[in-house]
Amino acid sequence: MIRKPATGGDKGSRKPKPAVKRGGAAAARPGKRAAKGPVEPRLLTPAEIEEVFRRFREKNPEPKGELEHINPFTLLVAVVLSAQATDAGVNKATRGLFAAADTPEAMIALGEAKVRDFIKTIGLFNTKAKNVIALSQQLVAEHGGIVPSTREALEKLPGVGRKTANVVLNIAYGQETMAVDTHIFRVGNRTGLAPGKTPLEVETRLEAVVPKPYRLHAHHWLILHGRYVCTALRPRCPVCPIGDICRWPEKTTLVAPAG
């Protein structure tokens, strides 16, 4: 006997399963986990951000930069020299340099060779010596020997980028700038305070979320926190003053809220 093929109304018929595209949600099988990327901390709320900076201010009401300087010009030079160098190393080199020349005119008179001799313990000292003389010459030629107080003018000087300009504007001229270095970049991303893929993204977010009363000193508090507590390799989470607020999923240990 010849059997007829089953029709759609027969009990033995099977409806074709819809095609499943690879990579779609329906493709996941029980017992298998989808690949996960890095876990990002959730953003801090405005109230949590306020509390973070309240604690920073309570602990250190008047934070200071750690680069030694005499005036805006020596501050500018010190920050230029600090690229890929430690503040301690820069301070050791600039004590003699600034004793010999603390104005653009005096630095030009000192000359590139002698500047190089003073800073030869700092990384990239050849390039930095050239930049120090060149920016001194430009300050004299275009600004009457005075360090300008605008980011645009500062960034036109040899060896001066956005971060350097922001440091000078903040410390020398009291402007509420956010100089995002490697420490602030790390703290902003780890904690959920101001995440961003670039220093400029972190800077922009900090400018948007830091409450007005804390903006002048915010970058100092964050730099010091990143340098001495929220360090790159072995963060000191057990003694972190904002450990209970921080949203970093890899904290080394939980801490009780600060008093």
Q: Which of 117, 181, 197, 212 is catalytic?
A: 181
Q: Which residue has the tokens 């010849």?
A: 2
Q: Which of 11, 21, 163, 251 is catalytic?
A: 163
CA distances (Å), 97 to each of 17, 33, 69, 83, in order? Answer: 79, 60, 11, 17
Binding site listing: 230, 237, 240, 246
Under a CB-based contact definition with an 8 Å cutoff, are residues 154 and 161 in contact?
no
Query: 78-106 burial, b if ≥16 CB within 10 A, otherwise e?
Result: bbbbbbebebeebbebbeebbeebbbbee
4 among known catalytic residues = no
Pull the structure tokens for residue 42: 């959730």
15 among known catalytic residues = no
CA distances (Å), 251 to each of 59, 127, 202, 233, in order? Answer: 21, 40, 21, 12
- Known catalytic residues are 163, 181
